[in-house]
Structure 1
């Protein structure tokens, strides 16, 4: 059991609140299956165009038109975007444009009732308890803010958004850089030491600790093995935490 006195809790998603298996075995395959259909049906929608522009920027181009070599025929651009998304997913790249587009495709699945987010059993109980105790609980994930809201709004335990006060993604900064956590602390209006960050990735915890945050490593069934030598306290469930207001 770990006791901690803070005012805010920052949570990772994959491997922390939800199983890695659900993300890789359900959510990512859904994008692969429905991407081509989505691009055709939603083409010219502002949100999709914004995601495509970001994908072009992530690829090093100054604009979508430049990335496409000046050929803006919809079928041509859609194919380029489709192929780039699949390439990035195959490489498990945490690119901002990719995450934005994935979030848009997942919305299709949630709206149709084809997706229902998995969360570990201890997560809804802990979120409710922390919210009741007045703790400021927020999410920081490589998945876009749009995807995060969809994820927690459609879980197998119901809508959990009511317990969350904010969301951050890679537009805030890389998850393995201390400056990202310093920026989040500033936006939460707390000093970093008033925030507890929970994640299954040691490098992310190292960055958060370097920024001054308190940390704990979450070890869930199905997570990747952890290399020895890290200095973070370890939990297997949110039930292992006793968090009080600082």
Structure 2
């Protein structure tokens, strides 16, 4: 295998607990969506994402912001990976982070390993279904401190779906590193399959589970400390 030159990591279930996202961030955004839209609905960027959400939902022109808020809340309940929703959630979460309402959870070993990989000269990148601004907030307000200086770039669903090979090909092209020299970390096997199809090396994070690690073409790990390259 080619020497690793870059690490591309998922967030939810990989660097951080799924529970933090589902039990803290999602409920916070759901609760604050109506008031946020009411207060910021005429902001051009917010308006853009509301219009995009309406189009994606097939809603007619003239749909009220209140109705749109309800649709977006329903999408949160469904855990829909919709780019307009992710963008608006990111703006709402920014307020929560700035207000000190919460800090982003990281598994205990993650920050030290990321710093170690960076010190070894590896380029670090993030690819998550959450928007790029939300990713930056996550690592900027983590419970291990501000880690944003460690990362050379961020990718979200505007690059493409995480279970499609072409998305990873685009990332490799964007960072100008051969796919075979990039290690992708995720807790979702289908994402790893797509990355492998694009030529990436892969590592499967199996967090918070008991029993033997699964046998797979993707090397499986409980934590970052066991990832070697």
The alignment's TM-score, normalised by the length of structure 1, stands at 0.88
Answering whether residue 139 of structure 2 is matched by residue 148 of structure 1, we say no
Task: Say which SS state the counterpart of residue 79 (structure 2) adopts.
Answer: coil
Q: Report the secondary structure of 1:172's partner residue.
A: coil
Equivalent residue number for residue 77 of structure 1? 64
Q: Does 1:212 align with 2:203?
A: no
What is the rounded CA distance, in whole Å, between the counterparts of 1:100 and 1:43 in structure 2? 13
- What are the ranges of 5 or more consecutive residues in structure 2 without an aligned counterpart? none
Task: Quote how far apart the aligned CAs of 1:127 are.
Answer: 1.0
Q: Deviations over 1:34-91 (max 9, x none)?
A: 111111121211221122122123224xxxxxx3x332xxxx6221221111111121
Describe how 1:99-114 pairs up with structure 2 within 5 A.
Answer: 99-114=86-101
Q: Mean Cα displacement is larger for which, 109-118 or 209-218?
A: 109-118
Count of aligned residue pairs for this structure pair: 229
In the TM superposition, structure 1's runs of 4+ consecutive aligned residues that sit over 6 Å from their partners are none
Name which of structure 1's ranges 31-40 and 194-203 shifts more when overlaid on structure 2: 31-40
Structure 1 Cα separation of the partners of residues 102 and 35 of structure 2: 17
User: Does the aligned pair in 2 maintain the 1:58–1:96 contact within 8 Å?
Assistant: no
Q: Structure 1 residue 188: deviation in Å?
A: 0.9
Q: Is the 8 A contact 1:202 1:230 kept in 2?
A: no
Whether 1:237 and 2:196 are equivalent positions in the alignment is: no
Q: 2:169 aligns with which of 169, 178, 182?
A: 182
Q: Give the Cα–Cα distance (whole angstroms) in 1 for the partners of residues 170 and 97 of structure 2.
A: 31
**Gaps in structure 1 of 5+ consecutive residues:** 61-66
Deviation at 1:117, TM superposition (A): 0.4
Partner of 2:28: 30
The equivalent of 1:17 in structure 2 is: 15
Q: Does 1:135 align with 2:122?
A: yes
Question: Does the residue aligned with 1:98 lie in a helix, a strand or coil?
Answer: helix
CA RMSD between the two structures: 2.1
Distance 1:227 1:175, change over 3 A: farther
User: More relative contact order in 1 or in 2 (CA 8 Å, sep 6+)?
Assistant: 1
Q: Are the equivalent residues in 1 in contact too, given 2:2–2:181 (CA < 8 A)?
A: no
Q: 3-state SS of the aligned residue for 2:3? A: strand
Q: Distance between the aligned counterparts of 1:176 and 1:194, measured in 2?
A: 20
Structure 1 CA distance for aligned equivalents of residues 144 and 96 of structure 2 = 17
* Contact 1:42–1:48 (Cα < 8 Å) also in 2: yes
